[in-house]
Amino acid sequence: MSSIRSMTPIFRTLAAVCLTWGLNASLAHAEGDAARGEARAASCAACHGPGGRSLNPSVFPAIAGMEPEQMVTLLKAYRDGDKVNPIMSPQAQGLSDQDILDLAAYFSNQ
């Protein structure tokens, strides 16, 4: 078993980058508040079902358990007009970045 001191500089740098990236990814999840997300999710239930468990998944996808990064990316794309859907685009229009993080935190834990 080798120590960190015996690692070549490139491997030490790579290890540091990987650890930092992982820490930053964890901190990004911590920014969303699931309780606030639950309060904001009432309108989502009309299509996506209670807790994001769709009653009609062939029409409205289930969003319960969705990875937070995926939900954040999708909601921002709908909100910012990068992805257009006649139902989701207007729903996402009024969401702040914090609202999106909160919804992602809530639905990822359902």
CATH superfamily of 33-108: Cytochrome c-like domain (1.10.760.10)
Which comes out higher in pLDDT, residue 4 or 60?
Answer: 60
Give dist(CA 52, CA 47) in Å, integer. Answer: 9
For 53-91, how does the pLDDT look when each residue is reduced to its tens digit (9 = 90+)? 999 999 999 999 999 999 999 999 999 999 999 999 999
Give the pLDDT confidence score for residue 61 in this predicted structure.
96
**Would the pTM count as exceeding 0.85?**
no
> Is 64 exposed, middle or buried, given 0-12, 13-18 or 19+ CB atoms closer than 10 A?
middle
Domain boundaries, the chain: 1-30, 33-108
Give the pLDDT confidence score for residue 14 in this predicted structure.
44
For the chain, give the mean pLDDT.
84
